[in-house]
Homo-oligomer: A and B are copies of this chain.
Amino acid sequence: MSKDIPQVLKGFRDYLPQEAAARKKIISKISEVFERFGFAPLDTPALESFDLMKGSFGEEEKLIYKFDDLGGRKVALRYDLTVPLARVAAQYPNLPKPFKRYQIANVWRAENPQKGRFREFMQADADIIGIDSIIADAEVVAAIASALKSLEIGDVVVKFNNRKIIDEVLKEKKFADKDVVNFLRLIDKFDKIGEKKVSELLKEQGFDFKLAEYSDEMRKKGKKFISEFETYLGSFGISNFEFDPFLARGLDYYTGTIFEFVLKSKPEFGSIAGGGRYDNLIGKISGKDMPAVGGSIGLDRLLAALIEANLVSPQTAAEVIIFNLDEKLTADYLNIATNLRNAGIDTEFYYESAKLDKQFKYAEARNMQVAVIFGAEEAKKRKVNLKNLQAKEQVTVDMDDLITQVKSMLW
């Protein structure tokens, strides 16, 4: 047959077992930390009305996956997890406030695929809605910092700033609204292209505002906020933080504190998490104002970092395999498998009585730990051979001691 082999769509990717298992572990650790901070899980659909998303993503709106459904509704795949949360806040006004939720789920963006950037990727968001408090801002940062710490990816630094202070500083300069947007876009490039280049660009575009002067005024006007925010971060046990007057963040909807996390050892990797306060978004969507703050971890970027650092375990299957030496013993093999599984041990059975060599290769390819070797001779004596596949050592034990012995070899 000359059929084309079907492929995953361009810009999308599969997570084969090794990476899927690593991602699963990340999800589970982040969930655990978010719950420790009192965030409760929330799940919303992948599809939302396109109207809901209109106007929240600026120029990026064109990257939304949208289409007409069978009923003629304009629907879209969610572009982030914040707009659906705003919809939830509007639709269920009786949710007790403050409402602290986390959601770990895929979002879809029709970006030009580049190295490491995909059209489907997973975000882990934690948000607090219904309260305007700098403590809530600090707690979101602390929750994300703790989640990142639990992943053992090395030290992270959180850079923070405040849109209100930027506004105050620029207001004194009497910038027009569109100049504010332009100015923010330029200073936000500071980390990527450096001070010199940003200064040149500012000059080119006619901004009469030196970076050093801007930075000084930000620190002066921000003094109270910076000191208070740093105190709270300290109380939450966070020590790696840094006020960054050049941090601006892309999204339109931020209104106060903003923050971004970078890896200390790899700042060039860019932001691995970020967020901020967005007190107007829910009101814009629902007609009823509601303060909110939240942050998001880019889970797939993190996974890429973990894989690069060789922190992903190679084991992709069960810990124990039962070799098939004699098809007449199938019922025994399945009994042994069932007993091991009931004892909480991940166990596989090799279905066919293939050559032992082939069965060993199967087990090695999957990095299994222990092989159970049981033939007619052993059956007669109620004995069983256990081979440690890593240390290449074999022992023979009574069938009754099987589980104890396997456990001692695994743990």
Contacts and interface: CB of A to CB of B under 8 A. Distances in A.
Given A8-B87, A108-B47, A21 B40 contact: yes
Copies of this protein, total:
2
Given A36-B345, A351-B133, A96 B366 contact: yes
B21 A348 contact: no
B46 A106 contact: yes
Interface string A44-70: 111111011000000000000101111
A77 B106 CA distance: 13
Contacts of A9: 45, 47-49, 73, 75
Nearest to A324: B135
Interface stretch (A11-19, A174-182, A188-196): A11-19
Contacts of A51: 6
A6 to B, nearest CB: 5
A36 B346 contact: yes
A40, A138, A337 interface centre (most CB from chain B within 10 Å): A40
B237 A5 contact: no
A235 B330 contact: yes
A6 B90 contact: yes
A69 B63 CA distance: 10
A286 interface: yes
Contacts of A96: 362, 365-366
Interface in A316-375: 316-318, 330-331, 334-335, 337-338, 341-342, 344-349, 351-352, 362, 365-366
Instruction: List 3 tightest A-B contacts by C-beta distance, closest first.
Output: A67-B67, A38-B348, A235-B334
5 contacts: A6-B286, A8-B48, A10-B71, A35-B346, A235-B334
